[in-house]
Amino acid sequence: MSTESATVNELKKLSPNEAIKAASHALRGTIAEGLERQITGSLADDDTQLTKFHGIYQQDDRDLRAERGRKRMEKAFSFMARVRIPGGVLTGPQWLKMDELATTRANGTLRLTTRQTIQFHGIIKTNLKPAIRAISDALLDTIAACGDVNRNVICTANPYQTAIHAEVFAVSQAISGHLLPRSRAWHEIWIDEEKIAGGETEEEPIYGRTYMPRKFKIAVTVPPHNDVDVFAHDLGLIAIVENGKIAGYNVVVGGGMGMTHGEPETFPRTGDVIGFCSSDKVLQVAEQVVAVQRDFGDRSDRKQARLKYTIERLGLDWFQNELHDRLGFELAPARSVLLTSSGDRLGWQQGDDGDFHYALFVENGRVADLPARRLLTGLRAIASVHGGEMIITANQNVVLARIPPDQRATIEALLEQHGLSGGVGALRKNAMACVALPTCGLALAESERYLPDLVAALEERLAAVGLSSQEISIRMTGCPNGCARPYLAEIGLVGRTPGVYHLYLGGSFDGTRLNKLFRRDVDHDQILAELTPLFADYAGRRNPDEHFSDFLIRAGHIRPTTAGARFHLDLEPELEA
Ligand code: SRM
Ligand code: SF4
């Protein structure tokens, strides 16, 4: 390890999480004992850090927090469990098991996430072990879905579209498997696997005893689609297709979304393209990028512990040299790539082999029954007859994949019967919100429960100026951590306090350019008041095919992000319009 890393990790006081990981016996802690304690619905504090590595978060119902506090009752604790589904692919029977689990052990809904997986909310402690066992019975797991490790690897949706998509999916699965922790703790605690003889803890050849300094995220995309937001990840891989085959991948490093309000040393950042590697080298590249961050990431301050800050601190040239040294070869120059959109192509598509695929809109990823749109029951009915797969996208939607031509009418009828076949407005289609209240412990404002209403109001304003069919991306989060990747949207809204948001504008539709802070602390009416004149100006003066955010920059409503600026600071609004 070099002197730089000594400076950051050996001379500073390590964060408390480092000691918890080191003393955890490869992620076991006292979780198993805690599950037996019936006097509380919670686990020991240190164990709640370790359960994250097993895909499990302790939460409490924030809608009930104040009232229970007044009555001096324990918080209404429950757990969120996140499944590991690299590439988002589930079979029909697996979907049905997840659906059953949601109704029997969780809050009766499935939550599709921005990382192509499912979260269950509201699992009480006594249900937790049976729930994880049910996930295991469906041949799935929750290992490394959270925690200081490589998370669920995401890739452009639907491996059944083309052979290229199939290969990218296989690569994502291979990376996910390669970077899984070797500890058997998950199997011992949750599915009662016998303890290893002698009780010795396993070696972690890639991670070591203290795992990563922080979470680590990987996404793989197939141009021209950027449905994974490849620039938002610690490591992004862009498939380079030549003569109908994948020649290799452009390598992108140091992306990330999270920041903290009022702390300019934290910021969203798009990754840097650092070169190209052939397909046979991609696992090696992924492992060594992880290894550099493992050794040089800041382990003293968790707010500075992501790869984006390591690169800002030590420099991109340093990072590339270190990576090349470890690889024993240099990445080739990056190939040229065109990305066109970051959303999903909703509706029917036909694959190379003649099978159909239907990408179904799921508002903010919440699979629940509403009077007009019965998603939970509808998807259950479809999964029961559908011989193909159900594929979760990184935009929180689901693709019903591999529908043979003679089954299309059956699926169409089921969609119709459950109110799922109607059109969705152009703004709504491109909207994403994070979970936020009531489950997220970090939420400062509503997100999932509020964005649908805001979109309805904005769609009225767009219709009034003839822009009903204009696709504009809008994303909201209940705090600045950026779980719905709001800083890459054309319109970004980031929670400040209940009912109040910062408004960001100017992110590109293809997910390659960050937006900028446009107005601080705006409420519902102020958001409408800010956006309505901009919509009108856009309707009157836009060029053909010009996206909203590109227009805002051309028309001078916001200053362009300079080519070299890969991060923005949350300091002052860019311009007074
Ligand atoms: Fe996230 C923390 C939900 C994708 C950045 N995120 C959380 C927690 C676990 C809150 C907590 O730590 O107590 C949220 C649980 C809420 C709940 O009740 O379910 C949460 N994040 C989500 C999900 C479910 C949002 C969604 O609506 O889909 C996404 C689950 C992804 C998955 O399946 O693995 C989710 N989170 C993201 C993304 C987007 C992505 O990965 O592409 C980001 C921004 C990218 C990045 O990491 O930079 C993201 N989440 C964060 C952060 C800030 C991390 C940072 O280093 O800046 C936190 C807070 C933290 O880690 O301390 C966080
Ligand atoms: Fe919670 Fe904030 Fe993530 Fe939303 S962005 S889920 S409020 S941590």
| Phi–psi pair at 557, nearest 5 degrees | -70, -35
Higher-pLDDT residue of 496 and 262 is 496
Q: What pLDDT is recorded for position 559?
A: 78
* Interacting residues of 113 by C-beta distance below 8 A, sequence separation 6+: 82, 119, 365, 392, 396
Could you tell me which residues come within 8 angstroms of residue 82 by beta carbon, excluding any fewer than 6 positions away?
Answer: 55, 56, 57, 113, 117, 118, 119, 142, 145, 146, 152
Q: State the Cα–Cα distance between residues 188 and 201, nearest whole angstrom.
A: 12
Q: Domain 428-554: give its CATH code.
A: 3.30.413.10
pLDDT in the model for residue 575 = 47
Q: Whose CA is nearest to atom 36 of ligand 1?
A: 483
Closest residue by Cα to atom 8, ligand 1, is 440
More confidently predicted of 128 and 569: 128
Select the more confidently predicted residue: 574 or 137.
Answer: 137
- Where do the CATH 3.90.480.10 domains begin and end in the chain? 347-417
CA 440 to ligand 2: nearest atom = 1
Q: Is the pLDDT of residue 573 over 90?
A: no
Ligand 1 centroid–CA 38 distance in Å is 30
pLDDT score at 187: 97
Ligand closest to 306 (CA) is: 1
Distance 315 CA to ligand 1 centre (A): 26
Of 525, 448, 456, the C-alpha closest to 479 is 448
CA of 317 to the centre of ligand 2 (A): 33
Whether 2 has a pLDDT exceeding 60, the answer reads: no
pLDDT (0 to 100) of residue 200? 74
CA 129 – CA 108 distance, rounded (Å):
17
Say which residue, 574 or 210, is predicted with more confidence: 210
Average pLDDT over residues 386-405: 97
pLDDT at 203 over 50: yes
Residues classed as catalytic: 82, 151, 215, 217, 434, 440, 479, 483
Counting ligands in written order, the one closest to the CA of 115 is 1
| Confidence grade of residue 123 (pLDDT, cut at 50, 70, 90) | very high
pLDDT of residue 1: 45
| Cβ within 8 Å of residue 135, ≥6 positions away | 81, 83, 97, 98, 101, 141, 142
Averaged confidence pLDDT in the chain: 94
**pLDDT band with cut points at 50, 70 and 90 for residue 199:** low
Domain with CATH 3.30.413.10 in the chain: 428-554
Q: How confident is the model at residue 351 (pLDDT cuts 50, 70, 90)?
A: confident
Q: For residue 174, what are its two tokens?
A: 């291979």
Q: How far apart are CA 134 and CA 101, in angstroms?
A: 7
* Minimum mean pLDDT range among 9-13, 137-141, 270-274, 556-560: 9-13
- What is the per-residue pLDDT for 574? 52
In the three-class reduction of DSSP (H, G, I as helix; E, B as strand; rest coil), residue 407 is classed as helix
- The maximal CA–CA distance of the chain, rounded, in angstroms, is 75
Give the Å distance between the CA of 413 and the centre of ligand 1.
Answer: 36
Helix (H, G, I), strand (E, B) or coil at 163: helix
In this prediction, residues 158-176 reach a mean pLDDT of: 96
pLDDT at residue 3, as a whole number = 45
Give residues (CB < 6 A) around ligand 1: 57, 59, 80, 82, 113-115, 117, 119, 145, 151-152, 214, 217, 232, 256-258, 306, 365, 396, 434-435, 439-442, 481-485
pLDDT value at 11 more than 70:
no
Q: For residues 229 and 488, is the Cβ–Cβ distance under 8 A?
A: yes
DSSP-based three-state secondary structure for 438: coil
For a mutational test of ligand 1's pocket, the pick from 17, 79, 114, 267, i.e. the residue with the most ligand atoms closer than 8 A to its C-beta, is: 114
Q: Can you point out the beta strands (E) in 73-200?
A: 77-82, 89-91, 110-112, 118-123, 154-155
Residues 430-459, mean pLDDT to the nearest whole number: 98
Nearest CA among 493, 412, 397 for reference residue 445: 493
Bridge partner residues of 237 (DSSP): 220, 251
Residue range 77-106, pLDDT digits in tens: 999 999 999 999 999 999 999 999 999 999
Out of 20-34, 349-363, 407-421, 561-575, least confident range:
561-575
Q: Which CATH superfamily is domain 347-417 in?
A: Sulfite Reductase Hemoprotein;Domain 2 (3.90.480.10)
AA identity, residue 483: C
Distance 483 CA to ligand 2 centre (A): 6
Ligand 1 binding pocket mutation candidate from 481, 485, 494, 567 (most atoms within 8 A of CB): 481
pLDDT score for 566: 55
